Amino acid sequence: MIVRDWHDADLSALHAINEAAVPGVGTLRREAFDRLVRDAGAATLVSEADKDPAGFALVMLEGLDYDSLNYRWLSARYERFAYVDRIAVAEQARGCGIGEALYRAAFGRFAGQRPVLLAEVNLAPPNPGSLRFHKRLGFREVGERWEADRSKGVVYLEREI
């Protein structure tokens, strides 16, 4: 399995992977997705299967002007961090270790540069598989945020790197 940095030629496939993973990740129009990858990511790591993108992780650092409630929540509590804004794996490639490979690549990329890697997992709608996965990789819970009507909620996670 190869994990590498993204290329312009990947954007269509990465967007399709993102949209197929909703609600585990947030939906984005293609133009907004492309802009996010190009402008906001400290790294967009791509896992290849048979030379095609099979998954990706978009990682951000502190100090961005990014209109995300999750990013703002984390920024208010951490001075320096790397944050996995989204990670998604193509449906046909799930269960093959791609998510773990992407996280291991992110741990390696930011080790020594940032003290923690941060992420969030949905509590509503629930995503218990993702929460188990993150805990297996050494993440611990550091907080929650809920919408006023409690229709949506997330748990925030950190892992020292």
CATH class of 2-160: alpha beta
161 residues of the chain, pLDDT tens digit each: 899 999 999 999 999 999 999 988 889 999 999 999 998 778 999 999 888 999 999 999 999 999 899 999 999 999 999 999 999 999 999 889 999 999 999 999 999 999 999 999 999 989 999 999 999 999 999 999 999 899 899 999 999 99
- What's the pTM? 0.93
Judged by DSSP in three states, 153 sits in strand
Chain centroid, CA 117 distance in Å: 10
The pLDDT, as a whole number, for residue 49 is 84
User: What backbone phi and psi angles, to 5 degrees, belong to 141?
Assistant: -75, 135
Spatial separation of the C-alpha atoms in residues 159 and 66, rounded to whole Å: 22
Peptide bond before residue 125 is cis, with ω within 30 degrees of 0: yes
Contact 66, 41 (CB under 8 A): no
The pLDDT, as a whole number, for residue 135 is 97
The pLDDT, as a whole number, for residue 41 is 75
Domain locations along the chain: 2-160
The pLDDT, as a whole number, for residue 8 is 95
Judged by DSSP in three states, 32 sits in helix
Ramachandran bin of 95, using left for φ above 0, alpha for ψ from -120 to 50, beta for the remaining angles:
left
